[in-house]
Amino acid sequence: MTVEIRVPVLGESVTEATVGQWFKKVGESVAKDEPLLELETDKVTLEVNATEAGRLEEIVVAEGEDVEVGALLGQITEGAAGSAPEAAKEEAEEKPAATPAPAAKAEPAPATSSTAATKVDVLPAAQKLIDENNLDASKIQGTGKDGRITKGDVLEALENGGASPAAPAAAPAAAPVSAPAAPSGPRAEEAREERVKMTRLRKSIAARLKEAQNTAAMLTTYNEVDMAAMLDLRTEYKELFLKKHGVKLGFMSFFTKACVAALQEIPAVNAEIDGEDLVYKNYYNMGIAVGTDSGLVVPVLRDADKLSFAEVEKGIGALGKKARDGKLSMAELQGGTFTITNGGVYGSLMSSPILNPPQAAVLGMHKIQERPMVIKGEIKVRPMMYLALTYDHRIIDGKEAVTFLVRVKDALEDPQRLLLDL
């Protein structure tokens, strides 16, 4: 019996994907629920698993081609012989033992296995990072299925210094051979330009940002926050907080709670336009912008008003890790009502964030910098942060936007109010 492999439902508003990599070749055995291929959408990368055990009979769509939901990707022929990949391995291992062979014929075997050992199976998203950062894939430990290198493995290697640049590693061996050819020269000119096809995620980001500019009446209002009280509170309780909750007390929980309180007071900032209607949301799903090597993604922390400080920190931490590892689900990227983006982690002093449609507003955090401030007639050095609120003027009036940002400022400068729900 033949079983069809089709593109699954990809999520709300997602109708197309790109075939990233086939994990199996035609004729190979597959087990039930074993990953067959990888699909890249404009939001996430996901695996398509075998619904039945058998043998991969046909690949209809090659790597790199675009497909729509429901499209035929390939076919599996059901059969007991393909029910377990291990059976094929055992069969291959048994053949040498069953057929006596002279020692001379056995010699090529080590060379073959040695060559195979040098091959590293890398998933497409991981390969892109490896190429961009000039890493040596053989020095990265793969944690994916069958030792495949995932995007998360590459990111971890970059953070921990676990992978060495490919060029320096290869230099000693290559030097004696390449030395005579060095005068030929023009190779240095080849790297002056590089043309790379935009990823589906990058194309989606570009389209959404342009849509926001073309559709919304965007305006940005600014304010600044004295972060001294929050820094003092965090310093006083961070060790106790970590010991009790198992997570660090960061800034994002304070900003999330401050924004939720301000949204509850100014409902228009938590609204959106749907045709000729204004839709006011009585729930608070906070989009937390995360920069990854593939581009900006905005996972959603749901019902933030019902979460404690510790739950907010844990939730944001988990979403951020998934985003960097490329493991976010479609559901985790949908349903946000307001977004917070932190350019300060990259050193930005001030910027004007762009809306995340269909949301009506986005808050931009920035770098904390000591500046001289006049306080009660005296000049004092204070740790200050600029805040920027970009909003859709079609929904939110200037008074509402300014009031919202002032409420956020007041809550952050007196964080006890957040803890006491005042």
Domain span(s) for CATH 2.40.50.100 in the chain: 1-99
Dump pLDDT digits (tens) for 259-297.
999 999 999 999 999 988 999 999 999 999 888 776 778
Catalytic residue among 393, 410, 414, 421: 393
Give mean pLDDT, residues 151-160: 71
Q: Are 293 and 225 in contact (CB under 8 A)?
A: no
What is residue 146's DSSP assignment?
A: G
- Which has the higher per-residue pLDDT, 319 or 101? 319
Reply yes or no on whether 397 is catalytic.
yes
Identify the band that residue 100 occupies on the pLDDT scale cut at 50, 70 and 90: very low
Annotation: CATH topology of 112-172: Dihydrolipoamide Transferase (4.10.320)
Is this prediction's pTM over 0.85? no
Residues whose CB is less than 8 angstroms from the CB of residue 342 and which lie 6 or more positions away in sequence, other chains included: 252, 289, 364, 365, 366
Has domain 1-99 been given CATH number 3.40.50.150?
no
State yes or no: pLDDT of 167 exceeds 80: no
Tell me the pLDDT of the chain averaged across its residues: 79
Q: Which CATH class is domain 201-419?
A: alpha beta
Q: Tokens for 328, please give them.
A: 């976010």
pLDDT greater than 70 at residue 113: no
How is residue 191 written in tokens?
């790297």
At residue 336, does pLDDT exceed 80? Answer: yes
What pLDDT score does 357 carry? 87
232 is catalytic: no
Q: Which stretches of 7-150 are DSSP H helices?
A: 85-98, 103-106, 108-118, 124-132
3-class DSSP assignment, residue 353: coil
Q: In the chain, which segments carry CATH 4.10.320.10?
A: 112-172
pLDDT at 112: 37
Catalytic residue among 397, 410, 414, 421: 397
Q: What pLDDT digit, counting tens, does each position of 124-153 carry?
A: 667 777 887 788 888 888 776 567 787 667
pLDDT at 237 over 70: yes
pLDDT confidence of residue 43: 64
User: CA separation (Å) from 301 to 283, 306, 338?
Assistant: 11, 11, 10
- Candidate from 111-115, 294-298, 378-382 with smallest mean pLDDT: 111-115
Which tops the pLDDT comparison, 51 or 93? Answer: 51
Q: Which of 8, 11, 5, 70 is nearest to 44 (CA)?
A: 11
Lowest mean pLDDT among 107-116, 180-189, 299-308: 107-116
Amino acid identity of 111? Answer: A
DSSP tag of 335: -
Measured distance CA(298)–CA(333) in Å, rounded: 6
Return residue ranges of the chain for CATH 3.30.559.10: 201-419
150/61 Cα distance (integer angstroms): 23
Residue 244, C-beta contacts closer than 8 angstroms, at least 6 positions apart: 310
Res. 46 pLDDT band, cuts 50 70 90 = confident
3-state secondary structure of 195: coil
Question: Angle, to 10 degrees, between the axis of helix 309-325 and the axis of helix 151-160?
Answer: 110
